[in-house]
Structure 1
Amino acid sequence: MKNSNEWMKNGVIQALLALNGLVMLYPLFVMVVSAFKTNAEIFSSPFALPHSFALTNLQKVWEQTNFIRYMLNSFGVTAASIVLILVFGTMAAYAIARYEFKLGGAVLMFFISGMTVPLKLAIIPLFIQLDALHLIDTYAGLILVYVAMGLPSAVFILTGFLRTLPRELEESARIDGASELLIMLRIMLPLARPAMVIVAIQNAVPIWNDFFFPLILITSDDLKTLPQGLTVFIGEFTTDWGVMFTGLTLAALPITLLYIILSKQFIAGITQGAVK
């Protein structure tokens, strides 16, 4: 009886997971399929397969937009933002987690408070400040905004993970004559790799997909990121939805592959830490 109940419980869980997977993946399937359709096909049979898998929409994306430039801009902004978030977030989290000082708790709460208020609510004073610094319509201004958005959660995640690491590792390294910088770079940070991968994934996806801040802060066509650049197909009276879905599919592909790669590294990092 117990085995039967356990089997039913596992079956219900598997069914719910399969249903959740279907709900999550079906819109992506519709997006990819619609990339091969014309506007007439999309409106007449939105959920059916296309009559032919022609690359006409892909040709329009390539010829009518500066697609490669937009994608390179997104790559550059996302990569620079993630690197800065990891560097500054790791340094702050390491100081809070591994050293004891009076204001350690207050500093941590300062970073955590940044998670409570969306930065979009402060877009007007933020725009005024960036304009005063001559950072409007620049990569630097956009990257600084993303770093400010990502640091609070990065410090929160990394601090919690670094606090779980045994202090005996540091003490033995100090006895061997290792400097504080060497201890952090060679001993502690390799063990914190799973948390760093989580931070990278958590921030890379929204930064890559963000449309709001590039729309406000970027005006030059050569500096536009991919989500902003694809709006060229949205007209005042008509929208070429087939071409739009093609651009969205191409835009989703790199970040999806990156997510899969980092997920594998995350699992490998956990396994490596468990073995050690």
Structure 2
Amino acid sequence: MANASHSKSLPFAPSRVFVHLTLISYLLLALLPILLVFMNSFKSRDAIFNDPLAWPTPETFSLIGYTKVLGRSDVLMYFGNSFIVTIASLFFILLFGAMAAWGLSEYRFKGNRWLKFFFAFGIMVPIRLGTVSILQLMVDLNLVNTLTALVLVYVAQGLPLAIMILSEFMGQVPGELKDAARCDGIDEFRIFFQVVVPLIRPAIATVAVFTMVPIWNDLWFPLILAPSDKTQTITLGIQQFVGQYATDWNAVLASLTLAIVPVVTLYALFSRQLIRGITAGAVK
């Protein structure tokens, strides 16, 4: 009887099969380019062009790309610059975004709705439209060719989305918990960091992943604001292997493989929190 009832509770649904096939197709579409970059980074130049879809074999295996990248370029410095810019930007985006979201969701004041609309407008308008003004501002502040310029731009770019996502999640925190903390004499600062922030960790992980990827992969602002040799990020540093008439594909593919590792690692570490955050937002 138990088996019969269990089988009745899970009927065959063609729509469910279609959804799974669609998700599998999208997964393959997303992973195939990454897989091609990874396997071709361990092949010789001739093997890359002769059969790019084949796995490396003892005859085609080569580490020449990684040798060039690690031995003949400042790729470690580029990685360091990208890490500094990404981590610093994420820290300030999450800190200021969470604090602003707390103020917008917890306190009611005149202009609250218009302020939310202002931040939503920041999501709709691409920051690159203001590139000329941003460059002029950085020149006036003497911040060109500094990592500080990139951090400031990325913080401004990521704050609107962070505030909108975190404010929606903070609005779902039970008011009884906050009122109980206030009755116990806990100040607002401690309520925010000790009560609210731990409850919205999935949302914080979601914001971190969605913010980190565009910052790490960005080429536009590093090229404009920090193109010097000492401030280049990994995405900009890879461009030295791409020439007008010849491209060192072994070095390019090896650099791309190394650049993908931090993003994949971050997703692997925060995938559970990310899925929880997306699911909670969808259900809500």
CA distance in 1, matches of 2:101, 2:211: 17
Contact 2:44 / 2:61 at 8 angstroms: preserved in 1? Answer: no
Q: How does 1:1-276 map to 2 (within 5 A)?
A: 6-50=12-56, 51-266=59-274
CA distance in 1, matches of 2:214, 2:47: 31
CA distance in 2, matches of 1:270, 1:148: 23
Q: 1:60-108 CA deviation, whole Å, 9 max, x = no partner?
A: 1111210111101111100000000011101110000001111111111
CA distance in 2, matches of 1:227, 1:66: 12
| Farther-moved stretch of structure 1 (36-45 vs 207-216) | 36-45
CA distance in 1, matches of 2:117, 2:16: 41
Going from structure 1 to structure 2, the CA distance change for 1:143 and 1:38 (only over 3 Å counts) comes to same
Amino acid at match of 2:63: L
Q: 1:143-169 CA deviation, whole Å, 9 max, x = no partner?
A: 000000000000000111111111111
**Structure 2 stretches lacking a partner, 5+ long:** 1-7, 280-284
Please state how far the C-alpha of 1:3 moved relative to its aligned partner. Answer: 8.1
CA distance in 1, matches of 2:103, 2:10: 52
Please state how far the C-alpha of 1:269 moved relative to its aligned partner. Answer: 8.1
Contact 2:205 / 2:277 at 8 angstroms: preserved in 1? Answer: no
Contact 2:40 / 2:253 at 8 angstroms: preserved in 1? Answer: yes
CA distance in 1, matches of 2:274, 2:244: 44
Q: 1:172-209 CA deviation, whole Å, 9 max, x = no partner?
A: 11111111111111111111111111111110011011
| Farther-moved stretch of structure 1 (132-141 vs 49-58) | 49-58
**Structure 1 stretches lacking a partner, 5+ long:** 272-276
Contact 2:169 / 2:203 at 8 angstroms: preserved in 1? Answer: yes
Going from structure 1 to structure 2, the CA distance change for 1:154 and 1:131 (only over 3 Å counts) comes to same
Contact 1:85 / 1:154 at 8 angstroms: preserved in 2? Answer: yes
Question: How large is the RMSD of aligned CA atoms in angstroms?
Answer: 2.1
**Tell me, what secondary structure is at the counterpart of 1:221?**
coil
Please state how far the C-alpha of 1:220 moved relative to its aligned partner. Answer: 1.7
| Farther-moved stretch of structure 1 (228-237 vs 34-43) | 34-43
CA distance in 2, matches of 1:92, 1:173: 20
Amino-acid identity (%):
39
Aligned length: 271
TM-score (norm 2): 0.90
Going from structure 1 to structure 2, the CA distance change for 1:183 and 1:29 (only over 3 Å counts) comes to same
Please state how far the C-alpha of 1:5 moved relative to its aligned partner. Answer: 6.5
Amino acid at match of 2:37: M
**Tell me, what secondary structure is at the counterpart of 1:123?**
helix
TM-score (norm 1): 0.92
Q: 1:195-243 CA deviation, whole Å, 9 max, x = no partner?
A: 1111111100110111110000012211110000111101121001121
Please state how far the C-alpha of 1:13 moved relative to its aligned partner. Answer: 2.6
Q: 1:93-142 CA deviation, whole Å, 9 max, x = no partner?
A: 00000011111111111111111110111101110011101111111111
**Which residue in the other structure is 1:274 paired with?**
none
CA distance in 2, matches of 1:230, 1:270: 33
